[in-house]
Structure 1
Amino acid sequence: MAACTNEVKKINSDSEYLYTFLVNDNEFYVVGEKYDYVFDGESLRTLQRFLVSKYAKSILYSTVTLQIYEGKNVTGYYDIYLDPKKVSENDHAFIQKEFSFQFDDAPSVLDLKQKVLKRVFISKGILAKLENHDELLAKYKSQEPLRASVEYYENTTKLDRKVIGNALVLPLTVPVSVVAGAAAILIFGSVLSVKYVVEK
């Protein structure tokens, strides 16, 4: 995977609607309007645990930024802000220890004077083409998709999702998790086969 360095130059920016998140123990699949993505890492396992906890109901605001390098490598940033007024004092310490949330200034868009609890979940991944993209959207498309900011960096080209790689097809079986807007709705026990193509 490409790493972000100070020498990398941003060459373009765009936006992308993310309609469905599919999760298994090792990988996180994101079905987007333009692209599909495959992520992994401990940060996402922590995010999954958070989204099924009672504290997910305290989400005040969230943002998603996707940085694409070399046309295929992706770094995803999912910033989550919690309303501390909706979390008991006793739970503040638990959230900070268990999920690494910290007090920070509220984003300017909220126009709040108070501090909020914030955590940035970061994960590395790749652009992928899910073969059953349309089937997944038909079954699990959120009515409140997340709007992501997409940043393209040097040596990166904007690709049509139909031609993102033609090298490797992998069959995967995935328990389904659906994340809609700032709230999480997890559905376990549903299993489907996901195939995706990645660029060599």
Structure 2
Amino acid sequence: MFICFGLVGCSVFSDKPLTQTKRDNLQSFLIVQNKLYIVGELHDYQFEHDLVTQLNHFLKSPYANHIEQVEAQFIIEKSPKVEGEYKVYLSGDKLKPTDRARLKSEFSFNDAAGSMMYRSYKANGQIVKLANRNEILQKYRFKKPIEARVIYYEFESDTSAGEIALAAVTYPITIPLAIAAGVALLPFQMICFALAFGY
């Protein structure tokens, strides 16, 4: 199978990079056993990194209630590999000097414009196919999707970069939703994004 894909790659792709940008509406995400799973309209994603653990730690803290804005961006260079970046902005109006000091020392937040604070989380992952995505969306769908920017760095061919990514070889993953410990973070996530988007 790998030989076949290699032959196809030689005959279809050239060495000229092709860049394309799309928007993906993120409909839900879960952190289970320090792995971040995201359900989007274009793709499903899986990330695993120390920063996922740090994001988990922050979302369990009371400071998550101060989330003002969330930005997401995915860079796909060679499908199904993807690099994700998430920027979390906090409203600093009700943060005391001691809170700001703890956010900097324990959660690695930085000062932003005005009284706001922000932190970037980056992690490498891959595009996957979540086998139980319908169950996830039925239970944990966001009231309002989060818009993410998806940047494709592929190789020029007769097929668009988005179609190449969609056609990438992915494997189905089933998230064990029945594990209480694995979904204990969900109420925090829903509160955070509800506050962030006015719901």
Contact 2:69–2:89 (Cα < 8 Å) also in 1: yes
1:89 deviates by 1.1
**What residue in structure 2 maps to residue 190 of structure 1?**
none
2:54 aligned with 1:46: yes
| Match of residue 93, structure 2, among 61, 85, 90 | 85
**Structure 1 residues 32 and 170: alpha-carbon distance in aligned structure 2, compared to 1, 3 A threshold:** closer
1:39 partner SS: strand
1:39 deviates by 0.2
1:127 deviates by 0.2
- Mark the runs of 5 or more structure 1 residues left unpaired by the alignment: 1-7, 106-113, 186-200
**Structure 1 residues 92 and 100: alpha-carbon distance in aligned structure 2, compared to 1, 3 A threshold:** same
Distance 2:143 2:98 in 1: 34
Relative to total residues, which structure has the larger helix share, 1 or 2? 2
**What residue in structure 2 maps to residue 128 of structure 1?**
128
**What residue in structure 1 maps to residue 193 of structure 2?**
183
Instruction: Name the amino acid aligned to 1:125.
Output: G
**Structure 1 residues 180 and 82: alpha-carbon distance in aligned structure 2, compared to 1, 3 A threshold:** same
What TM-score, normalized by structure 2, do the two folds share? 0.75
| Match of residue 176, structure 2, among 173, 178, 183 | 173
Cα deviation, 1:93-147, whole Å, max 9, x if unaligned, reads 1010111001133xxxxxxxx1421110111100001112222212221112211
**What residue in structure 1 maps to residue 11 of structure 2?**
none
Cα deviation, 1:41-82, whole Å, max 9, x if unaligned, reads 111111111112110111121211111111211111111111
2:28 aligned with 1:20: yes
Instruction: Name the amino acid aligned to 2:162.
Output: K
Contact 1:34–1:161 (Cα < 8 Å) also in 2: no
Distance 1:146 1:58 in 2: 17
What TM-score, normalized by structure 1, do the two folds share? 0.74
Q: Which residues in structure 2 correspond to 1:3-152 (within 5 Å)?
A: 11-105=19-113, 114-152=114-152
Relative to total residues, which structure has the larger strand share, 1 or 2? 1
Paired residues, number: 169
Identity %: 28
Is the deviation greater in 117-126 or in 18-27? 18-27
Contact 2:72–2:85 (Cα < 8 Å) also in 1: yes
Distance 2:191 2:17 in 1: 30
Distance 1:77 1:151 in 2: 12
**Structure 1 residues 163 and 132: alpha-carbon distance in aligned structure 2, compared to 1, 3 A threshold:** farther
Distance 2:191 2:40 in 1: 13
Distance 2:176 2:192 in 1: 26
Contact 2:79–2:126 (Cα < 8 Å) also in 1: no
